[in-house]
Amino acid sequence: MVPQACRGIEKGEAGAFDEIAGIPVAGVAGWRCFIAVELSTEIAEGVRRVQKGFRERLAGVSWTRPEGIHLTLRFLGDVDPGRIEEIASKAEAGIKTIGPFSIGVKGCGGFPNPRNPRVIWIGVEDASGLLKQLQARVEQGMEELGFAGEGRGYTPHLTIGRLRSGKGKGEVGQAIEAMKGCDLGSMEVQEICLFRSQLKPTGAEYTKLKVIPLRG
């Protein structure tokens, strides 16, 4: 069943795609979805503080809205809402042997590298290796459902900003260097969530479609 908060989408919404061919289909409403770990209240507040520190140093950066910062496991793109149950069930089956575990949130960096950054991120420490296992099983399950693989290794991180242009990269690199020692502590990962993202005039709005507990 699709959550009540996510109903009311008209048929023919832009962004709908055929499940296999990946081509637009008239009359099918595509939902932009991803699977992620939701941050704890304490970690989310710490992320806001770090982002504020960067904001005070830098201009020319498009900052991620704090409520939109998640630890993404798998971006799915446009999804037929009729597949939400199937996706959630597949993810749940894949991670059924993994129980709750802790991750650390610390350090800052930039992609592709701190000296020439396009993306500013806060790091995630996976001391137990269970986050990597979790992501790999979610990835495998989604590929089995026909979602194309992303073709790159998984580097857990929290994106807090993206540079609008190539200007000011030196200042960004200096800011990353100044903030790289940040340590926001740890959090317990007890569940993963299937989210829907909707772009609205006020910014992206996120709806939690499914919550999948770690029961292993």
Which residue reads 């504020």 in tokens? 52
Spatial CA neighbour of 94 closest among 127, 154, 143, 128: 143
Long-range contacts of 60-64, Cβ-Cβ distance < 8 Å, separation of 24 or more: 60/163, 60/164, 60/165, 60/167, 60/168, 61/120, 61/161, 61/162, 61/163, 61/164, 61/172, 62/161, 62/162, 62/163, 62/164, 63/160, 63/161, 64/159, 64/160, 64/161, 64/162
Catalytic site residue from 54, 70, 108, 122: 70
Catalytic site residue from 74, 90, 137, 157: 157
At 127, which helix (H) or strand (E)?
none
Give the residues across from 119 on adjacent strands.
111, 162
Catalytic (active site) residue 215: no
Catalytic (active site) residue 58: no
Q: Which residues are catalytic?
A: 70, 157
